[in-house]
Amino acid sequence: MKALRRLFAAGSDRELPAPTAPGSPLAEARGLGIRLGRRQVLDAVELTARAGEVVALVGPNGAGKSTLLAALAADLPAGSGEIRIDGRPAADWSPPELALRRAVLPQSAALSFPFPVEDVVRMGRAPWAGTAKEDEDDVAVASAMEATEVTRFAARPFSALSGGERARVALARVLAQRAPLLLLDEPTAALDLRHQELVLRICRERAAAGDAVVVVLHDLGLAAAYADRAVVLRDGRVAVDGPPAEVFTGELLGEVYRQPVEVFPHPRTGAPLVVPERTR
Amino acid sequence: MTATTHDTGVVKDASGGSGEDSAPGTDTPRRRGNAFVLTVALSAALLVGCLLSAGLGAYHIPLGDVLSSVQHRIGLGGHALDRVGESVLWNVRLPRVVLALLVGASLGCAGALMQGVFGNPLAEPGVIGISAGAAVGAVGSIALGLTFFGNWTITVCAFAAGLATVLLVYALSRSGGRTEVVTLILTGIAVNAFAGALIGLFIFFADNAQITQITFWQLGSLAQATWPKVLAVLPCAVLGLLVAPFYARKLDLLALGERPARHLGVDVERLRIVLVLVVALLTAAAVAVAGIITFVGLLVPHLLRMANGPGHRFLIPGSALGGALVLVAGDLAARTVADPAELPLGVLTALFGSPFFFWLLRRTRRRQGGWA
């Protein structure tokens, strides 16, 4: 019966997300363990992303950052423990309801057909079709494209863009979705210096507007400069979780990355700078 | 709600911004207009094609007579033709035209859907072996003399075999949520070869009358069109054609990949199951009466994508219209070009479709910089 109703009701029975209070948890992992194949990728992970904060997930390759992000996105079921999104177990939400609550930027942006850039960004509005917020579509698309500086090639086909341009279009799509929880998997990987900063500034702005942002980063300097909290993963476990200025110590990072590093405060801002120890 | 604050959350950054560039949204109405013009043009061409096809042939019926006979039959004035003319028009020509419409629309629509589901512009029922699979069911039912569903037996068998084939190809050609071009085409070769072997076996065990029937049917022809044959495929074709447009938006989202589509609220598993069923329905409808007609489902959606972009809201109904047009025109050519002999329609479409497919392959390879 419920399935039948869902089949025919196009959006009318979706529960719209309630306004989020600052500091309320939008994504939680409780004792989360996930096995992929025979490998225990995550083990007893505790993580909370609250409204209004930017959380950076950092750690060496294969530490489980992307898996954790996928679990928070409800892509992967919890093997053990629990994932909660917007206060409810992830499995209890229907796909359309989840789409109103969390937006996800995948590591690589692909597209099977050469849709024009603006259409790609507009795809981010699909979850709102048939709801009262459908009226915001044009504004949401335009402001997301402006924020990521892709308005200039709105009419170009996605397939004609460079890697960095594609990454920004994908981010614009995610921003246009206007979900209160943003999960970004290496949003800066393909970007130049200017656009890396731009993306992290957008993260900060969204957090200031009351969203929770979880972002996987490789650049510890970026994480230190922009994140409220950094969660350092090591072999599927949380090594440390706290403000970057407190948890980014040479000792911890050197051990986690198996590469000696030096950490010193920026002469002007005081944010920690992380530099590998080099002989010359 | 957070909506108002979102608007202010835009990063104001003048240098790389785009104040004076064309605002987003300006090209959408143009493209919608484009789609409208294309739809009208296709419909008009289709209507003309149908009328020509009804009139032309060994027994020529003038256009005016065709119109007035049709008017007469639906009770809007006009007049009946003489006995021969009336019989040729209503028992030979029109069933054939309607069958061409149904088969063409099914093939075009099935092609557009498959390309969307596989996320691959080279997917087509003929190329990847779905048609051949459905043909195994159809040939089997002819060779074994099955009649358990009466008039619908061949269609039902083609559907069952076609469905099994789609599922098989889907399972074999996907890995990690993606379908590589090479895997897809190679899977098609394997499936086509296996289906060909099964069809060969059935022919080996069939008697002479059955072999004749199978051979004609295999060449892909609408020559034996009758109203009962139209009825045999009508439910499949109509059901498939009606359901398909409802999944257009979701297919657009699926172009982003499976996970991103799910992130945007698409129940990907259900979408896939429904569309695979629809593709099997449409392919079965086409194959059961007309044999294997290849490349229509490849050519039509591709041309429409070039004309109006890849959006499925136009592409799906447009491909049905375009497919119908191609088949009505193709059938007209097949029976008039070599008059009084008749070319098999499947041979004709393959003759024009294969070079196009070849061109498409070359272009895809160039764009991807070799096969990954």
Q: Does A199 contact B at CB distance below 8 Å?
A: no
**Given an 8 Å threshold on Cβ–Cβ distance, is B3 in contact with A98?**
no
The whole-model pTM stands at: 0.84
Rounded mean pLDDT of A122-130? Answer: 92
Q: Which two tokens stand for residue B221?
A: 């022809």
Q: Above pLDDT 90, what percent of chain A?
A: 69
Q: Which two tokens stand for residue A12?
A: 């009318």
Classify domain B102-364 by CATH number. 1.10.3470.10
Nearest by CB: A111 against B24, B255, B305: B255
- Say yes or no for a CB contact (<8 Å) between B10 and A149: no
pLDDT surpassing 60 at residue B63: yes
Measured in angstroms, the CA of A243 and the nearest CA of chain B are apart by: 23
Using the predicted structure, report yes or no on whether residue B106 has a pLDDT greater than 90: yes
**SS (HEC) of A201-266:** HHHHHHHHCCCEEEEECCCHHHHHHHCCEEEEEECCEEEEEECHHHHCCHHHHHHHHCCCEEEEEC
pLDDT tens for residues A51-69?
999 999 999 998 999 999 9
Taking contacts as CB-CB distances below 8 angstroms, the residues of chain B near A206 are: 6, 9
pLDDT at A131: 85
B264 to chain A: closest CA residue: A99
Give the single-character DSSP code of A35.
Answer: E
Query: Which among B256, B259, B270, B360 is the top mutation candidate for probing chain A, defined by the most A β-carbons within 10 Å of its own β-carbon?
Result: B256
CA dist A56 and B135 (Å) reads 56
pLDDT computed for residue B177 by the predictor: 63
Residue range A205-217: mean pLDDT, rounded: 95
Q: Is B161 exposed, middle or buried (0-12, 13-18, 19+ CB in 10 A)?
A: buried
A120 contacts on B by Cβ (under 8 Å): 256
pLDDT at residue number A30: 93
Work out the average pLDDT over B137-156. Answer: 83
Using CA atoms in the order B170, B173, B175, B177, what is the torsion angle rounded to 10 degrees? -50
A166 touches chain B (CB under 8 A): no
pLDDT for residue B87: 85
Mutation test of the interface with chain B: which of A5, A101, A102, A113, choosing the one with the most B Cβ atoms within 10 A?
Answer: A113
Q: pLDDT tens digits for B287-324?
A: 888 888 888 888 899 889 888 889 999 999 999 999 99
Contacts of A173 in chain B (CB under 8 A): 256
| Residue whose token pair is 């074994």 | B144
Q: Encoding tokens for residue B224?
A: 């034996």
Chain A nearest CA to B313, separation (Å):
13
Chain A residues in contact with B13 (beta carbon < 8 A): 149, 198
Phi, psi of A58 (to 5 degrees): -130, 165
A211 vs B2, B24, B25: nearest CB: B2
Mean per-residue pLDDT over chain A, rounded: 90
ipTM: 0.89
Place of tokens 């959606």: B301
Counting every residue, how long is chain A? 280
Q: Is the distance from CB of A227 to CB of A56 less than 8 angstroms?
A: yes
Residue of B1, B5, B6, B302 to mutate, testing the A interface (most A Cβ within 10 Å of its Cβ): B6
> What is residue B147's predicted lDDT score, i.e. its pLDDT?
80
What are A6-15's pLDDT values in tens digits?
444 444 567 7
A226-273 per-position pLDDT tens digit: 999 999 999 999 999 999 999 999 999 999 999 999 998 889 988 889
Task: Please state the rounded mean pLDDT for residues A129-149.
Answer: 90
What is the per-residue pLDDT for A3?
A: 52
B27 lies within 8 A of chain A by CB: yes
Q: Give the per-residue pLDDT at B1.
A: 38
| Gap between the Cα atoms of B202 and B136, Å rounded | 8
Test A154 with B121 for CB contact under 8 angstroms. Answer: no
pLDDT band at A279 (very low <50, low <70, confident <90, very high): confident
The residue with tokens 């059935």 is B202
- State the fold for domain A23-276: Rossmann fold (3.40.50)
Answer yes or no: do A123 and B25 touch at CB < 8 A. Answer: no
The whole-number pLDDT of residue B236 equals 86
Across B125-141, average pLDDT: 87
**What are the chain A neighbours of B11 within 8 Å (beta carbons)?**
147, 198, 201-202, 205
Q: Determine, for residues A126 and B22 on separate chains, whether the beta-carbon distance falls below 8 Å.
A: no
Q: Are B131 and B287 in contact (CB under 8 A)?
A: yes
Place of tokens 């009701």: A9
Of B280, B281, B255, B250, the closest CA to residue B266 belongs to B250
B3 in contact with chain A, both atoms CB, cutoff 8 A = yes
Average pLDDT, integer, range B69-82? 81
pLDDT at A117: 93
Question: Tens digit of pLDDT for each residue in A70-105?
Answer: 999 999 888 899 999 998 999 899 999 999 999 999
- Whether B280 shows a pLDDT value over 50: the answer reads yes
Give the integer Cα–Cα distance in Å for B197 and A142. 56
DSSP state at residue A151: G
- Cross-chain residue pair B16–A20, CB shorter than 8 Å: no
pLDDT computed for residue B176 by the predictor: 65
Whether A134 and A156 have beta carbons less than 8 Å apart is answered as no
Q: What is the pLDDT of residue B285?
A: 83
* pLDDT category of residue B178 using cuts at 50, 70 and 90: low
| Per-residue pLDDT tens over the stretch B230-244 | 888 898 899 999 999
Question: Which residue in the set B16, B24, B367 is minimally distant from A149, CB to CB?
Answer: B16
pLDDT at B226: 85
Find residue B327's DSSP bridge partners: none
- Assess contact for B132 and B292: CB atoms under 8 A: yes
User: Is residue B326 predicted with pLDDT exceeding 60?
Assistant: yes
Question: Following CA atoms B97, B98, B100, B101 in sequence, which dihedral angle do they give, to the nearest 10 degrees?
Answer: 120
State both tokens at B290.
Answer: 């007309």
